[in-house]
Every structure is written in C-alpha cells, then in structure tokens.
A and B are shown apart, each in its own frame.
Chain A
C-alpha cells in the first residue's frame, strides 16, 4: 500500500564537530512537488544525505515513503532518485551509457535499463544527443542528463538539489517545466533551492529552513498572503483611472501598462469596479497581488517556526 506521507521527519538533528547542520526538524510532507528553501548553508544538502541514508542523524527519525531510513536505507534508496547540485557525471562516456548504467545500479535488468535510458533521455530532450560524450555537453544538457539518471530507476521521489543552478533564463524555464511535469507522472519531487521564484513557480508545498531550523512548512498558496494591492489592466487610459480614483480617495499608481490600487475590503473593491465602469474603460485584468516567497521568508526567518 502506498504511504500517504512523502516524508516524515521527527526531531531530526545533525551535528558535526562545531556546527549544527539541522536542529530538531519535525515535518510531515505530502506527496507532490515540494520545495525545500533556504540560504546557502541552511542544511538542504545535509538533509538530502540523511534522506538517502548515506549520513546518519545525530538525533531523530526519518521516514521516506513510509520506510524508516535508519531501518532500511537500501529500501529507501531503491525508491529514490537523486540529482546533486555539483558536476557528477563521467565525462568520457555517452549520456546513453551513463544513464543506462545508473539504471542497472538502481536494480533494473540490463535490457530494461537501456530501454528506460532511451526513454528518459527523450523525455528530458536529449534524444538526439544521447550517443555523444558528456564532455561535449553544455551546462543545460548536463543538468538534463543528471535529471535523466535520477529518473531512470522510476523513483517514487526525486531529490533535486539546485536543479536550475548555472542555467540561462531559457534553460531554467525548460528545467522548471520538466520538474513540473514530473508531478503529472506521479513522481514526487523534493527540490532544494535558494531561488524562491523557482519554488513559487513549480511547487505545491514549501519547507523553509534557516541555519538548520524550520522556518515554515505549508502549502505554497497558503503562504502567499494578500498584500492589499490590486493590479488593474485597463489598457492605455490608465492615467484617466488614476485621476478618477484619486478624486474619491483611493490611492493608485500608474505603471507603464498597469495600475496598482491600494484597497481595503470588499467595499473599496466595489468602488474600484464602479469607477472603471463609469469611465467606460475596458477591464482586461484585475488581480490581487500576493506576497512573494521572498517576502514570506524574510518575514518569518527571524520569527518562531510554524508548521
């Protein structure tokens, strides 16, 4: 039976001589796309090592997909895929050979590993390059190869450590799109990053840690709070709207195309709607501006944890 919880940490602590990398983390994460957010040195990579069972916690317990890591690290690893942040590919081999070999290392028979290597390289967009040595790959292609080797064993959970590191904007968007697709394939993702935009774009759930301590854990939507600003797109007559709103005491600022209005409650929202209608302006878009995860992180990093 499939465990409902993706990851359960109970008082997880990891201390090295002179430094506490993780300090009493207690989290219960659902399946799906989860972002693990924290500054460099916050303990993200340490947590991955603990999840993989290649490092042992000083205190606390970890359950991954319902399996206790301390009791059955091999069983856990056979269900996980891992994409490290650093370069980790044998450069003198082809992508097909590397991914196929890692498929076999994940326990797949040789023929199945070759077939799946071909499939996942196709999935990540390296179908035509798969017989070229990795030494000739760009950073983006290497990142895709790293993702392919993490997927070849058909894992339940993939640990992605800074998957967009070193990528140009287009490569980053493509990588995030790939990560987002994994969720639709039924593969859960734990994505460690210090780029909050990446998490906001892809993940349904966010865990923020700072200096080894839990800052917050929750659904992404629940963390993005309303700011009291409304963004309105009325086309080129935005100055006209700003003037009308100022007359009735609603603060508004015109941008190049959008108008940002400060509203307080439903009553003022109704007023805004009426003003636009009275002026006969087209209403292309009206959205409530939310806080960004950056703002949430900065606000909560110094506050007590909440889960």
Chain B
C-alpha cells in the first residue's frame, strides 16, 4: 500500500478464483449468450440495435392490425375478422430474410476476420460446440421473432372473440402447430445462413451471398415450374430454398401440401419436401463442421 496525506493507493494484486468452474457446456452456453447479445446489438451502439428491433416491429404489425380491426368490427361482422391466418403467419415476412442476411454474417465473420477463433479454441470449447452455439443463437432469435407475433395474434384474437375460453378450446391445435412449424423454419434459416456466412470473413459478401442464394433459387424455381408444367406443379419447386420450410409448415398445419403450391401435383411431394429439407440441414451442418474441423486436428 502506498499512502499519503491525501489518500492511499492499494495494489490489489491477484486473487485466485476458487469458485465453481464449468467445462464444455458452460463454454458453449457462454458463446451462445455472447452471440445472442451481438445479434441483438446488446452492449453495442444504437445502430446495431436498430435492425433486430425494427424487424420485431415489422413482423408484429400484421398481428396488431388483425387484432385491431377484429376489435373494431367485433360487433358488426358475423364471423371473426381474419386478414392473416396462423399458418400464413409462419414465415410471412421477407424481413426475416433481410434479418438473417444481416445478423448471421455479423455473428460469424468477425471471429475469423479479427482472428478471435484461436482465443476461443484455447478454451474448453470444440468446433462442434462452436457450431451449435452459433446456429443455436441465430435459430433462437429467429424462433422468438417468429413466435412472439403469433402469441400477440393468438392472445389478441382470443380477447376480441365473443368468448375467450371458447376461442382457446377451439384453437388448441395451433398451440403445437405454431411452435413446431416456427422451429422448423428458424432452424432452417439459421443453418443455411450461418453455413454461408462461415465461408467468408467479409460480412458484406456473406450477406449478399445469403440473399443472392435465396433469390436466385427462388427465381430459378419459378422459371422451371412455370415453363415446364404450366401450373401442374413440378419437383423443381424444391430448389426454391427460400420457401422450402413453408412446405413443412403446410404439412404441420394441413397434413398435406397446400393445393395452391407448385408441389401439389407431384407424387409424394410432402415426403420429398421433408427429405430435401433434411438434406439441406445436413449439408449446412456438414459445411460448418468441415469449416471448423481444424480445431479437432
């Protein structure tokens, strides 16, 4: 201690840590939390907070409008007013695409560009843990941002209905259909976007690649389906990576492919959609594990 008439300066030295200590699970959870904080702009400037919370606002607007109009017209219309159904509301907003194109590169690319990975892998963390934490973080945010508006819609519809309890008991099925289909959508977009972002250390390139891949496959699918089969449906619809999880949504909500979809006339279209969905998930995880396998060598 150095002391004078005006005060004292203490050298606190070094205090060893003797508390509890986790291993892989703790490190993975820490990375998951740090990635969520980064994606949502927490502990960052307001500019980084702008995109996620604008997205949340945008995806919630249809639910608020639907509930608001339902409330205003509740005494004038015989049936419940509905501009958006629970099924349509799963993945309805292309704001999700913009969001993953912005956030997935921001969560992945700086680790490579700023060479933070050696520091991370000097901890009790493996490449698999890293991939799970990153995909989990993006997937969790996508799930939350897709699920919360559905909660607003459900609670709003219930409250403006003639009988809240009747509405609740009459819509029990959506209580599992919504989370299952939203989970399928969130997992899918998370894996695809994180896998693409892992291939470069430049955020702008990764963002453009995410949007480009989804748009190009969407356009290519549209051209092939339109030209080849004249509205009769085509297996080429499966190359549209953007809407592929919506076929799973239809299977969850309807039990079959939507009759208006380009897959409707395709034999075993639903099964093919599920297989393609799983194949793309596996491909995405394969890319990610290969990308981070050097940690295990």
**B14 & A105 in contact (Cβ 8 Å cutoff):** no
- Contact residues in B for A181 (Cβ distance below 8 Å): 14
- Shortest Cβ gap from B137 to chain A (Å): 13
One of A55, A56, A97, A106 near B124 (C-beta < 8 A): A106
Determine whether the beta carbon of B119 is less than 8 Å from that of A149. Answer: yes
Minimum CB–CB distance from B179 to chain A (whole Å) comes to: 28
User: Are B118 and A88 in contact, with the CB atoms below 8 A?
Assistant: yes
Is B259 in the interface zone, CB < 8 Å from A?
A: no
Q: In the complex, are the beta carbons of A123 and B119 less than 8 A apart?
A: no
A226 within 8 A of B: no
Is A93 engaged at the interface, CB distance under 8 Å to the other chain?
A: yes
Docked-complex contact A123 and B12, CB < 8 angstroms: yes
Question: In the complex, what distance in Å separates the CA atom of A50 from the CA atom of B119?
Answer: 14
A179 to B31, CA, bound (A): 28
- The answer on a CB contact under 8 Å between B297 and A56 is yes
**Residue B21 is within 8 A (CB to CB) of chain A in the complex:** yes
Within 8 A of B (CB), among A60-93: 74-75, 77-78, 80-82, 84, 86-93
Q: Check B116 for interface membership: any CB of A closer than 8 A.
A: yes
Q: Cβ of A112 and Cβ of B19 under 8 Å apart?
A: yes
The reply to whether B124 and A77 form a contact with Cβ atoms under 8 Å apart is yes
Indicate whether A97 sits within 8 Å of B43 (C-beta atoms), given known contacts A90-B110, A90-B114, A104-B33.
Answer: yes
**Closest Cβ–Cβ distance, residue A279 to chain B (whole Å):** 44
Bound form: Cα–Cα A113–B123 in Å: 14
The residues of B that contact A187 with a CB separation of less than 8 Å are 14
Min CB distance B140 to A, Å, is 17
Known: A74-B124, A107-B26. A102 touches B119 (CB 8 A): yes
Asked if A89 contacts B121 (CB within 8 A), the reply is: no
Q: Contact at A107–B124, with CB atoms within 8 Å?
A: yes
CA distance A75 to B126 in the complex (A): 12
Q: Are B114 and A80 neighbours in the complex by a CB distance under 8 Å? A: no
Inter-chain contact B12/A105, CB cutoff 8 Å: no
- Return the contact of B122 from the options A52, A87, A91, A110 (Cβ within 8 A): A52
Complex Cα spacing A181 to B14, Å:
9
Among A55, A92, A105, the residue within 8 A (CB) of B120 is: A105
Q: How far is the CA of A249 from the CA of B165 in the complex (A)?
A: 114
**A153 CB-CB contact with B under 8 Å:** yes
- Confirm or deny: A204 has a beta carbon within 8 angstroms of a beta carbon on chain B: no
Band of interface residues on B: 35 or more
- Which B residues touch A185, using CB under 8 A? 13-14, 16
- Write the chain A residue with the least CB distance to B26: A107
From B13, B17, B33, B43, residue with most partner A Cβ within 10 Å: B17
Cα A88 to Cα B121 with chains together (Å): 12
B44 within 8 A of A: yes
Q: A113 to B19, alpha carbons, bound, how many Å?
A: 11
> Does chain B have a CB within 8 A of A239?
no
Q: How far is the CB of A283 from chain B (nearest CB, A)?
A: 34
Contact across chains for B121 and A52 when beta carbons are under 8 A apart:
yes
Question: In angstroms, how far is the closest chain B Cβ from the Cβ of A222?
Answer: 29
B24 at the interface (CB under 8 A from A): yes
Known interface pairs A78-B23, A87-B115, A116-B17; A101-B30 also in contact (CB < 8 Å)? yes
Q: Which of A82, A108, A112, A185 counts the most B-chain CB atoms under 10 A from its CB?
A: A108
Bound Cα distance from A110 to B26, whole angstroms: 10
Which chain B residues lie closer than 8 Å to A86 at the CB level? 115
A54 at interface, CB cutoff 8 A: yes
Q: With a CB–CB cut-off of 8 A, which chain A residues contact B115?
A: 84, 86-88
**How far is it, in angstroms, between the C-alpha of A43 and the C-alpha of B128 when the chains are bound?**
28
Find out whether the CB atom of B21 lies under 8 angstroms from the CB atom of A107.
yes
Q: Give residues 94-153 of B contacting A (CB, 8 Å).
A: 110, 114-116, 118-126
Q: When chains A and B are docked, how far (Å) is the Cα of A105 from the Cα of B114? A: 18
Cα separation A90 to B122 with both chains bound (whole Å): 16
User: Is the CB–CB distance between A74 and B126 below 8 Å?
Assistant: yes
In the complex, the chain A residue whose C-beta lies closest to that of B48 is: A92
Q: Is the CB of A101 within 8 A of B34?
A: yes
CA distance A186 to B17 in the complex (A): 12
Q: B255 CB to closest chain A CB, in angstroms?
A: 44
Whether A122 is near chain B, meaning CB under 8 Å from some CB there, is: yes
Contact of B13 with A82 in the complex, beta carbons under 8 Å: no
Question: Known interface pairs A56-B297, A116-B17, A119-B12. Does A105 touch B30 (Cβ–Cβ under 8 Å)?
Answer: yes
Q: Which residue of chain A has its CB nearest to the CB of B294?
A: A54
Give min CB distance, B261 to chain A, whole Å. Answer: 43
Please indicate the chain B residues that have their CB under 8 angstroms from the CB of A77 in the complex: 122-125
CB of A287 to closest CB in B, whole Å: 31
Please report B residues at the A interface, Cβ cutoff 8 Å: 12-17, 19-24, 26-27, 30-31, 33-34, 43-44, 110, 114-116, 118-126, 294-295, 297
Q: A74-B124, A80-B122, A119-B15 are in contact. List 15 more A-B contacts (CB 8 A).
A: A74-B23, A75-B23, A90-B110, A90-B116, A92-B44, A93-B43, A104-B27, A104-B30, A104-B34, A106-B123, A108-B17, A151-B14, A153-B17, A154-B16, A186-B16
A sample of 24 inter-chain contacts (CB < 8 A) reads A54-B122, A54-B294, A77-B124, A78-B21, A78-B23, A82-B118, A82-B119, A93-B43, A93-B44, A101-B34, A104-B34, A105-B120, A106-B21, A106-B124, A108-B19, A108-B21, A109-B20, A109-B22, A113-B30, A120-B14, A154-B16, A154-B17, A181-B14, A186-B16
